[in-house]
Every structure is written in structure tokens, then in C-alpha cells.
């Protein structure tokens, strides 16, 4: 993997060159943008770029390098982080934005992640090219693949379907014969579009359609369908359906992680700078409060309420800063045995009274003795945050499911509320995004970070009967540890 280091600090550049050479990278180190562009024409995979360069800002150099090597990644480093440079770096396509002094482990890890992303994209590109070549060659040939392969008659009814229908949709092939394929499509508008792609108007050699369909168990799956019109007495259309739900979720997670990384770096610096004067203000207010008591009851009563109001707001600001720091620099978690079922029961007990006041019912469906290795306090915060969100969103009922399958522990929070609007779905885990009037927009980003630090995943989906389901998946504790 070829690494380009662009930094006018020659001593630092030499140290980095030696460090990454020992890690197996092919390193080129330069001290200005002109030399970087010259190397860029020859080729590189990852660039580590300083923001301040003698002949051009690093944020200006970044898109020029990406133009020379579109499939490359860049890590931007600076000693003077600010919001404008962070935004410019992200616009320029930076993979990460780090502030100096950067710890060696952090820089190595960041570059390694950029390397993994490049390798993933290259593998994905290779697979895409291979699939396209295979489709051109074997477009009308039925074979045993992990996809739904079907043949439809002139009325859009299924005449043939392979075993992939059972693997991806949960239906036995014989249960689909004679059925209209569009009946599996969830959304009425998608169903109409789906039918149009199958109608006589679809005269192209092949057409693609992406729609959400329902698994037999009710779960939503996003599938890409490729149709080919054929001339056959029994069949008029051949189709291949592939499940891209995981692919879309992976893309969303990558985007969310990039936004979290950029916002986290800036948030940590901002919170640190604010905390010192805030602590001084809180201390001075406490002293002022004591002084007012010496001025007599009449004077004390006249300024007690304004003082309490200011102290309350400062305490709220201090709590907000604590959330900022927790989001930006989550602490290391102690790994201990945690019974998830007990954890959920405890959280439900804490919130049951609140739900009762709002005339909402809480239910728990949990397997007993489901264990994970993790930090109990952090996991409790994850469960409480998602439970509170579900209660706020629900109309009348929240159900929490705890399950253990194939070495993974699942915690699902179902509410029967209005659901998340489509225009907000890509912003749910974004820092500072909130639809609540008094929300900070940090609750779900903190949950996202904590779950990832436990090597888990979090996602959400629309429920078949309305509402939202948030799903947390964590590695189950080894059975030897449970015993």
C-alpha cells in the first residue's frame, strides 16, 4: 500500500516515514503541495496531509490529490483545528480529521482503517465488475445462486422460482407458484412502479428495480431486481432478485462513522475550552450565594430566584458538556459478565412509572440468562436511552425483546408510534440532529459509539404494523465464561 506524507515539518515527516515503512507501507514524504501533486501523478493510495503547507492549504490540496487518484483516501492533520477547516476537509473527501499532537497509535489505527476501506472498495468494485460480466454471459441461464431467480408469465404471475426465495424471503418455492410477485412489495407506490417495470412498456433488454419487500416473518428487506424480457411460450420475463439490505446499512454506517469522527474531534476541543470558565462561573455563583445570606432576608429573597435560575442553567450546560465529552472521548470499558435480561428488567422498572403516567404499556419478552462481556454502566445507558426514546415515540405500547442466537445477543425496542419520517432516516445517528425541542442530538450518537465499542451493531427499521424498531446486536459471552 503506497502512502504519501505531506508535511513541511521535515523532522516529523522523517519520523512518520520511518514509522510507516516499518509497518510495511511504501512511503513518499514531501514538504509542500507542488511536490505532493507530482507524486500524486505517479500514484498513491493514502495521503497524510497537514493543513498548513508553505505553498497551499492542505484543504485546497486535498481535492486536487483526489482528482489525480479518485480511489485514494486522505487523513488530514492540523495543530489548529477549527470548524471551517474540518468542513473543508470533509468536503474535500477526507477520511479522517486529526488534531496535533496525534498519538502514534491513533494515527496508525486511522491509516489502517483507511487502508481497509480502500481494500473493501476495491473488492466491491472487483465483485461488481465480475457480476456484470456474469450477467451478460449467463443472463438467461438459471443456476443455483444465493439470489431469487424467477420466471413470470404475461400476467406477472410466478411460473418458476428457485430455492433462493426460501433463503432470502422465507417462502418455499411451491408457495409462490401462481402468485403475483408484486404482492410481496410493501409500499403501494413501489408496487405500482414494480408492476410498470414488468409491464409491456418495459421493452428494454434488461431493467433494474429496487423495492422493499416483506419476508414471510414480516421483516422488511430491500431487494434489487434485474429483469430480462424473453420470447418463450410459457415465460415472458426472467428476474434475479438480490438482497441489498446489508449493503445499504453498511453504507449508512460508514457515512455515520465519518460524521461522528469529524464532529467528535471538534466537540472534544470545544467542550474542554468551555469547561474551565464554566467551572469558575459556578464557583463564583456559589460564593455570591453565600454573601447574599449576610445581607439580610429581604435582600437575599430578592436575588435568590435569579441566582438559582443562573445556577440551574449552568448545571444544565455542565451536563451538556459532559455529554459532549462522553460522545467525543468515550472512556475505556471494563469487560465483565453482564446479564442482559436483568439489565433490561432493571431499566423497564425504572421507566415503568413514567410510561404509566403517559398511559403507555411496557412489555418485556426475554430469554433468561443471556450474557455479554461488557461495561454494565455503559450498556445500561444504551438500554435506558433507547427505552426512553421508544416511550416518547409510542402511542400506547413498547415491547422490548431479548434473544440469543448463533453467538449474538439481540435487544429490540418496538414502539407503535408514527415512525421515523423518510427524510430523517439518514440523520438519526448524526451528532446534534434532533426533532425534540429541548434535545441535544447526542443521545443516539453516544449510543451508537458505545455499541460499536462493544463490537456490536445498531440499526432501526419500520415495523410492519407501524412504528419503529431499534435493534442492538452484541457478541454473546463465551459459554465457558457463563458457566
Q: How confident is the model at residue 143 (pLDDT cuts 50, 70, 90)?
A: very low
3-state helix, strand, coil in the chain (%, to 5): 50, 25, 30
Grouping H, G, I as helix, E, B as strand and the rest as coil, residue 98 is strand
pLDDT for 276 equals: 65
pLDDT for 201 equals: 44
Q: Which helix (H) or strand (E) holds 338?
A: strand 336-339
The DSSP call for residue 465 is T
The DSSP call for residue 463 is -
Give the list of residues 6+ apart from residue 105 with CB closer than 8 angstroms, or none.
none
Q: Which helix (H) or strand (E) holds 311?
A: helix 297-328
pLDDT at residue 178 tops 50: yes
In CATH, what is the architecture of 139-243? 2-Layer Sandwich (3.30)
Distance of alpha carbon 139 from alpha carbon 132, whole angstroms:
10
Of 224, 223, 220, the C-alpha closest to 466 is 220
Give the pLDDT mean for 192-205.
Answer: 58
Dihedral sign for Cα 52, 57, 61, 63, please: positive
The DSSP call for residue 424 is G
pTM (two decimals) = 0.41
Are 45 and 73 in contact, with CB atoms under 8 Å apart?
yes
Distance of alpha carbon 227 from alpha carbon 207, whole angstroms:
5
Alpha carbon 419 to its chain's center: 18
Of 158, 160, 227, the C-alpha closest to 193 is 227
Q: Where do the structural domains in the chain lie, given as residue ranges? A: 2-132, 139-243, 248-328, 336-482
The pLDDT tens digits for 82-98 are: 777 778 778 878 888 88
Grouping H, G, I as helix, E, B as strand and the rest as coil, residue 237 is strand
Topology (CATH level 3) of domain 2-132: Rossmann fold (3.40.50)
According to DSSP, the β-strands at 2-6 and 26-30 are parallel
- Greater confidence, 421 or 24? 24
Distance of alpha carbon 472 from alpha carbon 45, whole angstroms:
34
Give the list of residues 6+ apart from residue 394 with CB closer than 8 angstroms, or none.
360, 415, 416, 417, 467
Distance of alpha carbon 263 from alpha carbon 430, whole angstroms:
9
Are 174 and 180 in contact, with CB atoms under 8 Å apart?
no
Count each helix (H run) and each strand (E run) in the chain, helices first.
14, 17
Average pLDDT in the chain: 79
pLDDT for 140 equals: 45
CB atoms within 10 A of CB 453: 15
Are 262 and 240 in contact, with CB atoms under 8 Å apart?
no
Are 79 and 12 in contact, with CB atoms under 8 Å apart?
no
Q: Worst-scoring range by mean pLDDT, 325-329, 369-373, 376-380?
A: 325-329
Class of domain 336-482: alpha beta
How close are the terminal C-alpha atoms of the chain, in Å? 45
pLDDT for 139 equals: 43
pLDDT for 203 equals: 46
Strand order through the sheet with 408-415: 361-366, 397-405, 408-415, 468-475, 457-462
Grouping H, G, I as helix, E, B as strand and the rest as coil, residue 192 is helix
Region class of 318: left (phi > 0), else alpha (psi between -120 and 50), else beta: alpha
Give the pLDDT mean for 98-120.
Answer: 87
Give the pLDDT mean for 42-67.
Answer: 89
pLDDT at residue 331 tops 60: no
Alpha carbon 279 to its chain's center: 34
Are 304 and 290 in contact, with CB atoms under 8 Å apart?
no
pLDDT at residue 26 tops 80: yes
CB atoms within 10 A of CB 183: 12
Q: How confident is the model at residue 327 (pLDDT cuts 50, 70, 90)?
A: low
Distance of alpha carbon 321 from alpha carbon 317, whole angstroms:
6
Distance of alpha carbon 412 from alpha carbon 419, whole angstroms:
15
Topology (CATH level 3) of domain 248-328: Helix Hairpins (1.10.287)
Distances, alpha carbon 84 to alpha carbons 50, 433, 466, in Å: 15, 19, 41
Amino acid at each position: 500500500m503506497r502512502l504519501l506524507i505531506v508535511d513541511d515539518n521535515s523532522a516529523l515527516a522523517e519520523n512518520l516515514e520511518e514509522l510507516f515503512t516499518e509497518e510495511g507501507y511504501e512511503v513518499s514524504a514531501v514538504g509542500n503541495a507542488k511536490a505532493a501533486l507530482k507524486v500524486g501523478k505517479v500514484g498513491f493510495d493514502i495521503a497524510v496531509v497537514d493543513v498548513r503547507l508553505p505553498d497551499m492549504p492542505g484543504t485546497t490540496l486535498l481535492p486536487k490529490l483526489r482528482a489525480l487518484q479518485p480511489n485514494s483516501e486522505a487523513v488530514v492533520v492540523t495543530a489548529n483545528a477549527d470548524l471551517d477547516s474540518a468542513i473543508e476537509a470533509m468536503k474535500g473527501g477526507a477520511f479522517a480529521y486529526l488534531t496535533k499532537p496525534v498519538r502514534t497509535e491513533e494515527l496508525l489505527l486511522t491509516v489502517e482503517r483507511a487502508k481497509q476501506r480502500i481494500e473493501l472498495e476495491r473488492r466491491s468494485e472487483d465483485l461488481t465488475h465480475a457480476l456484470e460480466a456474469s450477467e451478460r454471459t449467463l443472463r438467461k441461464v438459471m443456476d443455483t445462486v444465493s439470489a431469487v431467480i424467477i420466471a413470470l408469465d404475461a400476467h406477472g404471475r410466478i411460473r418458476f422460482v428457485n430455492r433462493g426465495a426460501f433463503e432470502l424471503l422465507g417462502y418455499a418455492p411451491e408457495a409462490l407458484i401462481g402468485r403475483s410477485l408484486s404482492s410481496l412489495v410493501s409500499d403501494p407506490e413501489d408496487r405500482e412502479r414494480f408492476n410498470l417495470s414488468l409491464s409491456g412498456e418495459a421493452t428494454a433488454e434488461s431493467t433494474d428495480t429496487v423495492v422493499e419487500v416483506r419476508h414471510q416473518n414480516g421483516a422488511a428487506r430491500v431487494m434489487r431486481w434485474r429483469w430480462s424480457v424473453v420470447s418463450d411460450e410459457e415465460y415472458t420475463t426472467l428476474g434475479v432478485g438480490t438482497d441489498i439490505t446489508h449493503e445499504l446499512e453498511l453504507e449508512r454506517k460508514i457515512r455515520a462513522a465519518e460524521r461522528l469522527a469529524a464532529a467528535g474531534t471538534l466537540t472534544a476541543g470545544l467542550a474542554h475550552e468551555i469547561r474551565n470558565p464554566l467551572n469558575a462561573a459556578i464557583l463564583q455563583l456559589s460564593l455570591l450565594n453565600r454573601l447574599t445570606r449576610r445581607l439580610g432576608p429581604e435582600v437575599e429573597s430578592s436575588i435568590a430566584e435569579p441566582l438559582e435560575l443562573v445556577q440551574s442553567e449552568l448545571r444544565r450546560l455542565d451536563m451538556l458538556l459532559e455529554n459532549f465529552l462522553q460522545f467525543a472521548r468515550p472512556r475505556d470499558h471494563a469487560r465483565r459478565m453482564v446479564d442482559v435480561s436483568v439489565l433490561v428488567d432493571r431499566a423497564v422498572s425504572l421507566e415503568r412509572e413514567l410510561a404509566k403516567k403517559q398511559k403507555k404499556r411496557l412489555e418485556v419478552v426475554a430469554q433468561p440468562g443471556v450474557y455479554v462481556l461488557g461495561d454494565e454502566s455503559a450498556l445500561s445507558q444504551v438500554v435506558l436511552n433507547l427505552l426512553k426514546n421508544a416511550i416518547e415515540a409510542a402511542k400506547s405500547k413498547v415491547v422490548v425483546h431479548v434473544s440469543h442466537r448463533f453467538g449474538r445477543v439481540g435487544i429490540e425496542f418496538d414502539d407503535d408510534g408514527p415512525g421515523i419520517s423518510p427524510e430523517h432516516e439518514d440523520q438519526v445517528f448524526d451528532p446534534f440532529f434532533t426533532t425534540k425541542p429541548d434535545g441535544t442530538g447526542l443521545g443516539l450518537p453516544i449510543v451508537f459509539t458505545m455499541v460499536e465499542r462493544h463490537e456490536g451493531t445498531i440499526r432501526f427499521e419500520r415495523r410492519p404494523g407501524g412504528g419503529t424498531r431499534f435493534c442492538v446486536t452484541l457478541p454473546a459471552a463465551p459459554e465457558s465464561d457463563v458457566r
